[in-house]
Amino acid sequence: MGAGRTGAGGGLLVAGTTSDAGKSVVTAGICRWLARRGVSVAPFKAQNMSLNSYVTREGAEIGRAQAMQAQAARVEPSALMNPVLLKPGGDSSSQVVLLGKPVGELSARGYHAGRQRELLGTVTDCLAELRRTHDAVICEGAGSPAEINLRATDIVNMGLARAARLPVVVVGDIDRGGVFASFFGTTALLSAEDQALIAGYVVNKFRGDVSLLEPGLEMLRDLTGRQTLGVLPYAHGLGIDEEDGLRVSMRGAVRESVVAPPYGDQVLRVAVAAVPLMSNFTDVDALAAEPGVVVRFVDRPEEIADADLVVLPGTRGTVKALRWLRERGLADAVARRAAEGRPVLGVCGGFQVLGETIEDEVESRAGTVEGLGLLPVRVRFARDKTLARPSGKALGEPVEGYEIHHGVAELLGGAEEFLDGVRVGAVWGTHWHGSLESDGFRRAFLRRVAADAGRRFVPAPDTTFAALREEQLDRLADLIEEHADTRALLRLIEDGVPEGLPFLPPGAPTAPHPTQEPTR
């Protein structure tokens, strides 16, 4: 396999025994491993449920994880790589983004019962186009392929694999325990037609001596007739983009990538309010990558008392987040910080709550509500979503970012403009996601924050976020290259589904009518 292949490219679907089993990072690792071999490769996720999203150069909104996987593949992100994106807005509905553009809100029942089946043709067309223009396409599943209540309308796991005749590798997180039962049960709950596509397993996040695991792997092969194609060790500090904010939206969670000592005399402490429906929390990854910057996600006012910077992140529910801040006492604590000249940064929805009023007949339909009144801004929610890739200068440094919002900010004057937003004293607000990934701007901003906070913190002069991300992606490729059966993976990608894979009883029972939320 190599660059210049004509006709339909090869393919592989990476499924998982559960959500967060490691599908995203394994997919990214395979993409980077293939790219390093000179293979023209693209990632693909038919349907993604996530509040972390990204704007492509053509102005399409896709899952942030697929943008990261495109970087791993060394290709430009495209709406083809994530044709369906679901952005939860509450317990029972999501905004549906189709080919990069929002097309409406649907309940989980309405999506599964009607729209999802209609989208299979769009999904397979996108995959076919990617396979036509690339040597290989590495697809990522969602949740588990054994969610038998959703199988009838599935377009992202076995439904996609059947439609495109893709071999499937199932990833299991051994750190959670029960990985052998998960592999066996996942396979045995599938129909005979679906089982015929399950080509092998990958153990993820293994700690210890692999030789102690090998007897179990042999028994699993005897039971299922399928090989384990890799045992990937637990890797600390990868810092790769997550699908959503659920795993960090709890009190006291710390970004795992905080490992380096400060360049100056003191650390800089950043507290991120874990607001409901938190979106694009990856904005603070560039802060966590700085030596001496400690990033924590918090939900109580006392936890921001000693913070040098408080970040109000993006959210899919601005009015809901504002209510949450007030109920928790965080709104008053942020207001006190502003009065004392202590730094606060609001990004997107976090910027909107800092304004004077919010007029929302679109997202929450709450009408006009009072904001925190810390920035001279009025926000009105528009039905059309702003999707943009702006660039400019701030604090004397070039900056790039991306915008994803319905709220339109009207600046009322009397304050310094900042990245199409505004700054008053030590309170900063912008709709730009990703601005802190611009190294020069990030360092200038942190110097300003340290000065306002009275901290002897000095940003390291040589931290390059893009280079760190490349190192992380290469580490993922190293895990695949060193700990997976790469010859077997190549055979699957090039030759497709192996013949004669055995059936494991009992197989799939009759699926009930789907009623639950789509999976991530």
Give dist(CA 269, CA 508) in Å, integer: 51
483 catalytic residue (yes or no): no
> Residue 95: how many CB atoms within 10 A of its CB?
19
Give dist(CA 429, CA 353) in Å, integer: 10
Question: What tokens does 160 get?
Answer: 């996609």
Cα angle vertex 232, ends 226, 235, to 5°?
Answer: 160
Q: Closest Cα partner for 143 from 243, 52, 228, 274? A: 243
* Residue labelled with tokens 């009275």: 454
Q: Closest Cα partner for 407 from 360, 439, 369, 460? A: 360
Q: Of 134, 406, 431, 433, which residue is the catalytic one?
A: 433
433 catalytic residue (yes or no): yes
Give kind and range of the element (H or E) at residue 320.
Answer: helix 318-328
Burial class (CB in 10 A: 0-12, 13-18, 19+), 136: buried
3-state secondary structure of 111: helix
State yes or no: cis peptide before 506, omega within 30 of 0: yes
Give dist(CA 72, CA 499) in Å, integer: 31
Give kind and range of the element (H or E) at residue 351.
Answer: helix 349-353
Determine the residue type at 69: Q
Cα angle vertex 283, ends 341, 263, to 5°?
Answer: 65
Sheet strand arrangement including 84-88: 47-49, 84-88, 93-98, 101-107
Give dist(CA 296, CA 288) in Å, integer: 9
Q: Of 31, 112, 348, 406, which residue is the catalytic one?
A: 348
Active site residues per annotation: 348, 433
